[in-house]
Structure 1
Amino acid sequence: MENEKELYTNLIPHLNCKDFTVSKETFRILKNKEYEMLVTLPVPENLEDYYKSEDYISHTDSKKSLIDKVYQRVKNYTLKQKLSLLNSFETKSKLVLDIGAGTGDFLKVCKNDNWEVLGVEPNLDAKSIAAKKGIQLKENLLEITKQQFDVITLWHVLEHVEDLKETIKTLKSLLKPKGRILVAVPNYKSYDASFYKEYWAAYDVPRHLWHFSQKSVHKLFSEVEMVVDATLPMKFDAYYVSLLSEKYKTGKIKPLKAFYRGFLSNMKAIKNSEYSSHIYVIKNY
């Protein structure tokens, strides 16, 4: 945790936010001005307990509610986009590591396209679902040694990592020269974040420990001599996040209002490049 100390220094208040998914507790979100990054405090000692909910959809394949169905439909479409992005890179081999692999859908798509796959997922229920799809996952990064990858992916995972700087160092060590890390994270500087404020679903406290801006991602990876090669929009996230945010704000699912806010967020982002979420293509030199 020594390297993490500077991320917790000189913090100023940003807002207070409720855990709408599990505990209903309120957490503080503070700003680190140097990194232009937000930090969730306090970090619960029993953080794993805050993931124990049927509503935490990335650990299930649930299609019960309207929000579940929207998530699964969008996920199937974006999986193809993610695979296309991987295939756009020139690699001598096709070896991919997915961290926070959830129920294994991304790795299954990669495996079907002749990528050699490896994944990490600490949640036992998600691992069990992935195993039924033929995807065997490691519990943590410590189980991966003496191996390097062409591509490492973290799809909405970096915001969950407790030892942020140490994890980024580990990622670099697992990457081949000229390899790439793909990091997808929410963007607290988007229009939908500023509109919904403490109800913005992508704050997702306390599971999201960090809340990134474009500057913070550039700075964190530059510290390990890596460069953000491209920043890509995740346009569907504005709609999905707005759908959840409306539910948190009003207690009701309001798809038309959510669609309008998501659409407005994407329109504003055309001008200011601040989408609800971004994919960062980060290159190792």
Structure 2
Amino acid sequence: MEDKMLERLTKCPLCKSGHFLNSEEIKDFAVSQESFIICNCTKCGLKFTNPRPAAEAIAPYYDFPEYFSHDDKAKNLTQFVYQKVRKYAVAKKVKHLNNLRPSKGKYLDYGCGTGELLTKAKEEGWKVKGIEPNGKARKLANSKLKGKVYESIDELPKEASFDIITLYHVLEHVHLLRKTVKKIIKHLKSKGYIIIAVPNPDSHDAIKYKEHWAGWDVPRHLYHFNHKSIEYFSDLFELQLISQMPMPFDSYYVSLLSEGYRNPKQSIISKYWKAIISGKKSNRSASKTVGNYSSNLFVFKKK
């Protein structure tokens, strides 16, 4: 990318240890075709892109049609399928919110995209707010939610507190990891829940596709959390892990993108068929292990 600014980390972004090793070299198949190094922290287990584009330089890496969470319109078959699955997933997520807190309450979605989840939650009786850094997505969200979506957490009123805060596939994008999580937790009520969904570099599909695994998504994904690093995350921020849930659709979607990266010349029928088989195998494998799904959802409470 032109005018690229890279920052090199000398400490792990999670545990601040200086003990980490180069682990993988991964290509940005989606945008720049550049390669990035992923380091593995020997203390907490976090994998992280290093060096990485600085916060003020990363926006061009998100500028591509296939970044679906920033758009409401389907421009091709994959986007159409993605949005149909997203609609189903939104309903499931709101059901989960309602089960955690049947009396409803105040809900913050950090990285809310175009606001589908917040809109559905509002319809079900939640008082909602959102955070979305991307200007295009935020504008779409606010057209539905009448100004309830902010660019950053610093714009929230200091006294704002929430019964549930969610970060669905967001934590891996946050440059100031520790500072941002601390700010988020300050807005969580004492008996509130924080829900985090992240890709899993130890999943069956990650191991299968290796450097072509779409879950790496460098340099947009700055971090990769396995079970060890999630445990460290929980202790560091004084959170109690209440439950862990699979996100079974992710294995199919990630496999679909990974197939395209591995063999871009194959037919669309072949790509979809292989993705279905791969996604099914990944979920079956995860069900027999400690939950190594393509993506996992973690529910925390304050200790």
Q: TM-score range by the shorter chain?
A: over 0.9
One-letter code aligned to 2:272: P
Query: Given the alignment of the two structures, is residue 25 of structure 1 paired with residue 25 of structure 2, yes or no?
Result: no
Other-structure match for 1:70: 81
The answer as to whether partners of 1:91 and 1:150 remain within 8 angstroms in 2 is no
RMSD: 1.7
Other-structure match for 2:287: 270
One-letter code aligned to 2:243: A
Indicate how the Cα distance of structure 1 residues 6 and 62 shifts in structure 2: closer, same or farther if over 3 A, else same.
same
Query: Given the alignment of the two structures, is residue 97 of structure 1 paired with residue 114 of structure 2, yes or no?
Result: no
Other-structure match for 2:5: none
Out of 204, 209, 214, the position equivalent to 2:222 is 209
One-letter code aligned to 2:241: V
Other-structure match for 1:36: 45
Deviations 1:208-260 (A, max 9, x none): 00001122112112112111110000000000000000001100440011111
Structure 2-normalised TM-score? Answer: 0.90
Q: Give the drift of 1:18.
A: 0.9
Q: Give the drift of 1:178.
A: 1.4
Gaps of 5+ in 1: none
Gaps of 5+ in 2: 1-8
Q: Give the drift of 1:11.
A: 1.4
CA distance in 1, matches of 2:146, 2:194: 21
Q: How many residue pairs end up in the alignment?
A: 285
Out of 163, 177, 182, the position equivalent to 1:169 is 182
Q: Give the drift of 1:69.
A: 1.4
Q: Give the drift of 1:190.
A: 0.2
Identity of paired residues, percent? 40
Q: Give the drift of 1:131.
A: 2.3
The answer as to whether partners of 2:27 and 2:33 remain within 8 angstroms in 1 is yes
Indicate how the Cα distance of structure 1 residues 74 and 163 shifts in structure 2: closer, same or farther if over 3 A, else same.
same
CA distance in 1, matches of 2:114, 2:230: 26
Indicate how the Cα distance of structure 1 residues 228 and 255 shifts in structure 2: closer, same or farther if over 3 A, else same.
same
- 52-61 vs 95-104, which moves further: 52-61
Q: Give the drift of 1:6.
A: 4.4
Other-structure match for 1:284: 302
Other-structure match for 2:6: none
CA distance in 2, matches of 1:69, 1:5: 36
Q: Give the drift of 1:104.
A: 0.5
Structure 1-normalised TM-score? Answer: 0.95
CA distance in 1, matches of 2:102, 2:189: 10
Deviations 1:56-85 (A, max 9, x none): 111112312221112111101111110011
Other-structure match for 1:143: 155
CA distance in 2, matches of 1:126, 1:213: 29
Out of 214, 238, 258, the position equivalent to 2:275 is 258
One-letter code aligned to 2:155: E
